[in-house]
Amino acid sequence: MPTSTSAFIRTHLLLVPGMFALAGLLAHNTSLDRALATVFYDPAIANFPAHTWNTLELFGHHFAKSAVTMVWLMLLLVAISVSLWPQWRPQWARHRNAFWVTVIGMAMGPLTVVMLKGMNAYQCPWNLREFGGGADFSSGWFVAASQAGYCFPGGHAASGFSLIALYFLARHMDELRLARGLLGLTLLVGASFSLIRMAQGAHFLSHNLWAAAICWFVAALAFLPLRWPLRRARPVWISDESAG
């Protein structure tokens, strides 16, 4: 992780989200999106077989997303606890601003994705005529709610990639080994969530790559104020008075 604020901005606000976004653009503007969707589509039944697998829907979609929500709720509980009772975990209490930033950063990525889903007309693969649906491809933005596709970017992938906020938290606390593990976990969970929904016909690859870009950018942006040292000014929106 970059040690300087400028390097942090270049890497985590520009380079990494930019790479995910560029990959998303390439997947969308080439045949890759549809080629991968075709792998999971069965023209004999005019459907994605995984779409009807109840076990995959239960555990791979609903249970998995609920597990991430539980992680967020536990993080929120820790943030509240170290703010109200700093003596409970003094080594954590001095990082309570970072805990709150993590709560915010982890939530805002998926929330941003949800808002964007209602602003554009991109359809899920299973809605398109070429994959057994009844809709034509559309890529309009800022459309009426009745015309929105509610599919782009990928919401389930955003839930998985939102865990990147935990990576930034661990790095802020100088827990380097933990940070590396959390980075790997985030990429694994995000990729797994993406693959599940692609197999079900719910999303194209580009939808999920854009979700990763958004979640990474939002989490990094949330942590940016903590990069300014003592540093000119400490964040003032959470008081440090209770620490003493």
Domain map of the chain by residue range? 5-229
Instruction: Answer yes or no: is pLDDT of 234 > 50.
Output: no
Report, as an integer, the average pLDDT of 13-42: 97
Dump pLDDT digits (tens) for 84-119: 998 888 888 899 999 999 999 999 999 999 999 999
Instruction: Answer yes or no: is pLDDT of 231 > 70.
Output: no
User: What's the CA gap between 127 and 148, in Å, rounded?
Assistant: 12
> DSSP strand E in 145-209: where?
none
Dump pLDDT digits (tens) for 207-229: 999 999 999 999 999 999 998 75
Amino acid identity for residue 33 in this structure: D
pLDDT at 139: 87
Beta-ladder partners of 128: 135
Dump pLDDT digits (tens) for 38-66: 999 999 999 999 999 999 999 999 999 99
Are 202 and 124 contacting, i.e. CB atoms less than 8 angstroms apart? yes
